[in-house]
Amino acid sequence: MVTTDDGTAGMRGFSTQALSLLLAKGEYATIYTCGPEVMMRGVAAIAREAGIDCQVSMERMMSCAFGACGTCNVAMRAGGYASACMDGPVFDAEEVAW
């Protein structure tokens, strides 16, 4: 399903609106998302509400690629941080501190 802010292609609106429509039409086991963090936060919230597993790909600058520099840190709900370069970049949406 294609969405654009102004409707020049596909549905007019946000991808989170399209996701809600898709979930209303069928059953899904897992949602995979990547893109802007604000969008992924919305997708994660929709998935949580629907009781669907959600995996997020956290895009981060990866300066050293072995977890030493901290530029790719992702705040975790349980506390602390995970390195996107070593522990990710894909995380369970429920583990991320949005």
62-74 pLDDT per residue, tens? 999 899 999 999 9
What pLDDT score does 34 carry? 96
What pLDDT score does 98 carry? 96
**pTM, rounded to two decimals:** 0.90
What pLDDT score does 26 carry? 87
| Rg (the chain; Cα; Å) | 15
What pLDDT score does 81 carry? 97
What pLDDT score does 21 carry? 95
Q: Are 17 and 45 in contact (CB under 8 A)?
A: no
**Bridge partners of residue 76, in order along the sequence:** 96
User: Which segments of the chain have a pLDDT < 70?
Assistant: none
